[in-house]
Amino acid sequence: MKGVLRVAILGAESSGKSTLAAALATHFGTLWVPEYLREFVDTKGRVPQEHEQYDIARTQREREHTAAQQAKRFLFCDTTPLMTAIYSRHYWGRVDEELGDLELAHDYAFTLVTAPDSPWVPDGLQRESEAVRQAVHEEVVQTLDERAIRFMLVTGSLPERVLQVDRFLKVAG
Protein backbone atom coordinates (compact mmCIF):
# COMPACT_ATOMS: atom_id res chain seq x y z
CA MET A 1 0.00 0.00 0.00
CA LYS A 2 1.41 3.40 -0.93
CA GLY A 3 1.60 5.93 1.82
CA VAL A 4 2.59 3.45 4.52
CA LEU A 5 4.61 5.24 7.17
CA ARG A 6 7.63 3.23 8.27
CA VAL A 7 8.47 3.54 11.95
CA ALA A 8 12.04 2.67 12.95
CA ILE A 9 12.43 1.12 16.37
CA LEU A 10 16.00 1.42 17.59
CA GLY A 11 17.61 0.54 20.87
CA ALA A 12 20.26 -1.48 22.58
CA GLU A 13 20.04 -5.17 23.33
CA SER A 14 17.33 -6.26 25.75
CA SER A 15 15.53 -2.90 25.63
CA GLY A 16 12.22 -4.21 24.29
CA LYS A 17 12.38 -3.40 20.56
CA SER A 18 10.85 -6.67 19.36
CA THR A 19 8.19 -6.72 22.06
CA LEU A 20 7.23 -3.13 21.30
CA ALA A 21 7.17 -3.67 17.52
CA ALA A 22 4.84 -6.66 17.85
CA ALA A 23 2.57 -4.84 20.33
CA LEU A 24 2.35 -1.75 18.13
CA ALA A 25 1.52 -3.81 15.05
CA THR A 26 -1.31 -5.48 16.96
CA HIS A 27 -2.48 -2.17 18.42
CA PHE A 28 -2.60 -0.46 15.00
CA GLY A 29 -3.81 -3.53 13.07
CA THR A 30 -0.79 -3.67 10.79
CA LEU A 31 2.52 -5.49 10.32
CA TRP A 32 5.94 -5.38 11.85
CA VAL A 33 9.30 -6.51 10.49
CA PRO A 34 11.18 -8.73 12.95
CA GLU A 35 14.89 -8.23 13.46
CA TYR A 36 16.73 -10.37 10.89
CA LEU A 37 19.84 -10.49 13.11
CA ARG A 38 17.95 -12.63 15.63
CA GLU A 39 17.02 -15.11 12.89
CA PHE A 40 20.63 -15.09 11.65
CA VAL A 41 21.97 -15.90 15.14
CA ASP A 42 19.35 -18.60 15.74
CA THR A 43 19.95 -20.22 12.35
CA LYS A 44 23.76 -20.09 12.38
CA GLY A 45 24.21 -20.65 16.11
CA ARG A 46 26.67 -17.76 16.32
CA VAL A 47 26.92 -13.99 16.19
CA PRO A 48 27.80 -12.42 12.84
CA GLN A 49 31.28 -11.56 11.72
CA GLU A 50 32.19 -8.11 10.47
CA HIS A 51 31.97 -9.02 6.79
CA GLU A 52 28.38 -10.26 7.28
CA GLN A 53 27.01 -6.98 8.63
CA TYR A 54 26.08 -5.49 5.24
CA ASP A 55 24.14 -8.60 4.19
CA ILE A 56 22.24 -8.55 7.49
CA ALA A 57 21.29 -4.89 7.03
CA ARG A 58 20.40 -5.42 3.36
CA THR A 59 18.16 -8.36 4.22
CA GLN A 60 16.45 -6.28 6.91
CA ARG A 61 15.67 -3.55 4.37
CA GLU A 62 14.44 -6.05 1.77
CA ARG A 63 12.03 -7.47 4.32
CA GLU A 64 10.79 -3.97 5.11
CA HIS A 65 10.09 -3.30 1.44
CA THR A 66 8.18 -6.57 1.13
CA ALA A 67 6.13 -5.96 4.29
CA ALA A 68 5.34 -2.39 3.24
CA GLN A 69 3.28 -3.81 0.37
CA GLN A 70 0.92 -5.45 2.87
CA ALA A 71 1.00 -3.00 5.81
CA LYS A 72 -1.82 -0.65 6.71
CA ARG A 73 -0.93 2.95 7.54
CA PHE A 74 2.17 2.08 9.64
CA LEU A 75 4.94 -0.50 9.32
CA PHE A 76 6.91 -1.06 12.52
CA CYS A 77 10.54 -1.93 11.81
CA ASP A 78 12.35 -3.78 14.59
CA THR A 79 15.79 -2.26 13.96
CA THR A 80 17.30 -0.71 10.84
CA PRO A 81 20.66 -0.62 9.03
CA LEU A 82 21.56 2.33 11.26
CA MET A 83 21.48 0.01 14.26
CA THR A 84 23.61 -2.57 12.41
CA ALA A 85 26.17 0.16 11.69
CA ILE A 86 26.20 1.30 15.32
CA TYR A 87 27.00 -2.24 16.42
CA SER A 88 29.70 -2.47 13.73
CA ARG A 89 31.32 0.65 15.12
CA HIS A 90 30.94 -0.65 18.65
CA TYR A 91 32.55 -4.05 18.00
CA TRP A 92 34.96 -3.41 15.11
CA GLY A 93 35.52 0.33 15.23
CA ARG A 94 34.40 0.84 11.64
CA VAL A 95 31.63 0.39 9.07
CA ASP A 96 32.29 -0.85 5.55
CA GLU A 97 31.31 1.38 2.63
CA GLU A 98 28.21 -0.57 1.57
CA LEU A 99 26.78 -0.65 5.09
CA GLY A 100 27.70 3.02 5.50
CA ASP A 101 25.65 3.90 2.42
CA LEU A 102 22.70 1.83 3.65
CA GLU A 103 22.86 3.34 7.13
CA LEU A 104 22.75 6.90 5.76
CA ALA A 105 19.49 6.13 3.95
CA HIS A 106 17.59 6.40 7.24
CA ASP A 107 14.35 7.44 5.54
CA TYR A 108 11.79 6.46 8.15
CA ALA A 109 8.75 8.61 8.85
CA PHE A 110 9.32 8.24 12.60
CA THR A 111 12.10 6.94 14.79
CA LEU A 112 11.52 5.47 18.23
CA VAL A 113 14.28 4.60 20.71
CA THR A 114 13.55 2.07 23.43
CA ALA A 115 15.00 3.11 26.77
CA PRO A 116 17.09 0.52 28.61
CA ASP A 117 14.86 0.89 31.68
CA SER A 118 13.78 -2.71 32.16
CA PRO A 119 15.87 -5.50 33.67
CA TRP A 120 18.63 -6.74 31.37
CA VAL A 121 17.96 -10.35 30.40
CA PRO A 122 20.65 -12.49 28.76
CA ASP A 123 19.46 -14.74 25.95
CA GLY A 124 22.61 -16.56 25.01
CA LEU A 125 24.65 -15.54 22.02
CA GLN A 126 23.11 -12.22 21.07
CA ARG A 127 23.13 -10.30 24.35
CA GLU A 128 26.32 -9.39 26.11
CA SER A 129 25.82 -7.36 29.32
CA GLU A 130 24.10 -4.46 31.05
CA ALA A 131 27.26 -2.35 30.51
CA VAL A 132 27.17 -2.96 26.75
CA ARG A 133 23.44 -2.21 26.70
CA GLN A 134 24.03 1.18 28.34
CA ALA A 135 26.99 2.02 26.08
CA VAL A 136 25.05 1.13 22.92
CA HIS A 137 22.04 3.14 24.08
CA GLU A 138 24.29 6.18 24.46
CA GLU A 139 25.76 5.53 20.99
CA VAL A 140 22.25 5.36 19.47
CA VAL A 141 21.15 8.65 21.02
CA GLN A 142 24.44 10.36 20.14
CA THR A 143 24.27 9.17 16.51
CA LEU A 144 20.69 10.35 16.09
CA ASP A 145 21.52 13.71 17.65
CA GLU A 146 24.61 14.16 15.46
CA ARG A 147 22.58 13.43 12.34
CA ALA A 148 19.66 15.59 13.44
CA ILE A 149 17.30 12.63 13.23
CA ARG A 150 14.31 13.39 15.43
CA PHE A 151 13.27 10.55 17.69
CA MET A 152 11.00 9.73 20.55
CA LEU A 153 12.44 7.95 23.58
CA VAL A 154 9.89 5.42 24.84
CA THR A 155 10.05 4.41 28.48
CA GLY A 156 8.31 2.34 31.09
CA SER A 157 6.25 -0.82 30.86
CA LEU A 158 4.96 -2.19 27.58
CA PRO A 159 1.45 -0.71 28.06
CA GLU A 160 3.03 2.66 28.89
CA ARG A 161 5.21 2.48 25.78
CA VAL A 162 2.30 1.59 23.51
CA LEU A 163 0.28 4.49 24.94
CA GLN A 164 3.19 6.92 24.43
CA VAL A 165 3.61 5.85 20.80
CA ASP A 166 -0.14 5.84 20.17
CA ARG A 167 -0.42 9.44 21.38
CA PHE A 168 2.66 10.47 19.39
CA LEU A 169 1.54 8.87 16.13
CA LYS A 170 -2.00 10.24 16.43
CA VAL A 171 -0.55 13.75 16.64
CA ALA A 172 2.36 13.33 14.22
CA GLY A 173 1.03 10.70 11.83
Count of the separate structural domains present in the chain = 1
- pLDDT tens, residue by residue, 63-99: 999 999 999 999 999 999 999 999 899 889 999 999 9
The CATH code of the domain that includes 21 is: 3.40.50.300
d(CA 136, CA 50): 17
- pLDDT tens, residue by residue, 122-149: 766 555 677 888 888 999 999 999 999 9
Q: What is the mean pLDDT of residues 10-37?
A: 94
pLDDT of residue 97: 92
Nearest to 27 by CA among 15, 39, 19: 19
Q: List the domain range (segments joined by +) for residue 9.
A: 5-172
